[in-house]
Amino acid sequence: MSVVTQEAHGPHVPVRLDVERWATRRIRRRVLAVVHTVTAGQRLLEAVRLLEGDCRVQLFFTSAPDVFSNGVAAFLEELNGLVLPWSQAIRTEFDLALAAGHGSLHELYAPVIVLPHGAGHNKIVRGARRGHLVADRGVYGLSRQRLIRDGVLVPETIVLAHQEELTRLGRECPEALRAAEVVGDPCFDRITASLPSRALYREALRTRAHQRLVLACSTWGPHSLLGQRWELLERLVSELPREEYRVAVLLHPHVWNAHGEWQIRSWLAELARWGLTVVSQYTDWVGALVAADYIVGDHGSVTLYGAMTGAPVLMASLPDADVDSASPMAELSSFAPRLLDDRPLRRQLNRSSAAYQSHRYERVAARISSEPGQFARKMRVLMYRKLRLRAPAVRPITEPARLPSMVRYDEPGSVVS
């Protein structure tokens, strides 16, 4: 990781006032990627990769203050990018800043594009003022609480995935409509590109041709699958015959980073010995999702993306009070079966297959993105318009997901591909 520090002789070359004397390549625009959390950083990579190959642009990274910032330093170190400390980033002028979170963006000297860090805008959250919860509730990413600071709209551009989100934004924060731009969803496009390679992803997760893969997906927090239904993981690995089923678990990065990798590995170690496959936090989760025959989830984005895959989605945990009734997640939960404690799991899985209605899932999937296959093109057009540069002529393409990897328990901290 290249961490830029403020030393006695002045800032590192790319941000010095006399940069042209020292830099090898003359840079015309400087772009800052503001990483609040690992999840946000993963989403930002979908955008910053669209600047690859352009020698006119210098990209910087910084870690913004956030309660879930644990893990961000390791994420940035893996990228080997040029990382500015937050204290320097907020004192440096940039031509553009990209973020997938909202905290502290008002401190930047740059026009800011804010992307969503998940599928749609499904969660209702309480507002906060000076570290205290307040009664006001709003849809995360669309509410005035997140977008307005001292009466001023903080982002210059608010990226949306679907046209219908304009209506929801207008209801939550009408003054933000002028900044909204619908460009689509990068994960939607990558899932679509990955579906033809489903057999490869199943093989990477050691799922045999005759086996059915059950993927348990947990978001973070006390109302998540992991927070509410730990015993469900135990039931999945104990009730389902191993010769017919393979059970895997996919956890939100906040789960790993809030509790620590050692602790999560430790908690899941016994279940792993029973046959549970733990999908690595460092892997591409899209491949694991595409590989699944059944998706057991909660109110997290990965569960919603599961509506695209052709697999039945079963709800293990769903806090209705925390889900916007107008969201795609609310629609999915209106027909996705609940997993019940007093009935055999195998029977419930079989029943979900028999009752599967593709048109209902397709309707939900269509609400994730109104610009299928267009994120890379539209997002690049947007960034270059803000940078006031002509975009490269080469058309960007959406690559399928990399093969997923699993946590291996014979050597602490290692994974197997």
Tell whether the model's pLDDT for residue 49 goes beyond 70. Answer: yes
Q: Do the Cβ atoms of 285 and 250 come closer than 8 Å?
A: yes
Contact partners, residue 158, CB within 8 Å, separation at least 6: 114, 147, 169, 176, 179, 180, 181
Q: What is the pLDDT of residue 414?
A: 45
Is 66 exposed, middle or buried, given 0-12, 13-18 or 19+ CB atoms closer than 10 A? middle
Q: Do the Cβ atoms of 266 and 409 come closer than 8 Å?
A: no
Between residues 322 and 334, which one has the greater pLDDT? 334
Q: Do the Cβ atoms of 74 and 64 come closer than 8 Å?
A: no
Confidence of residue 392 (pLDDT cuts 50, 70, 90): very high
Q: What is the pLDDT of residue 9?
A: 42
Q: What is the pLDDT of residue 409?
A: 86
- Cα(40)–Cα(42) distance, integer angstroms: 5
Sign of the Cα pseudo-torsion (350, 305, 368, 198, in order): negative
Q: Which of 16-20, 100-104, 287-291 has the lowest mean pLDDT?
A: 16-20
Residue among 206, 216, 241 at smallest CA distance from 408:
206
Q: What is the pLDDT of residue 320?
A: 66
pLDDT in tens, 54-81: 999 999 999 999 988 889 999 999 999 9
Q: What is the pLDDT of residue 126?
A: 61
- Cα(33)–Cα(42) distance, integer angstroms: 11
DSSP string for residues in 379-409? HHHHHHHHHT-PPPSSPP-PPPPPPP-EE-S
- Cα(34)–Cα(160) distance, integer angstroms: 18
Between residues 112 and 11, which one has the greater pLDDT? 112
- Cα(162)–Cα(212) distance, integer angstroms: 33
Q: Which of 113-127, 187-201, 220-234 has the lowest mean pLDDT?
A: 113-127
pLDDT in tens, 125-159: 665 544 444 445 677 778 888 899 999 999 999 99
Q: What is the pLDDT of residue 77?
A: 93
Q: What is the pLDDT of residue 12?
A: 60
Sign of the Cα pseudo-torsion (142, 146, 152, 155, in order): negative
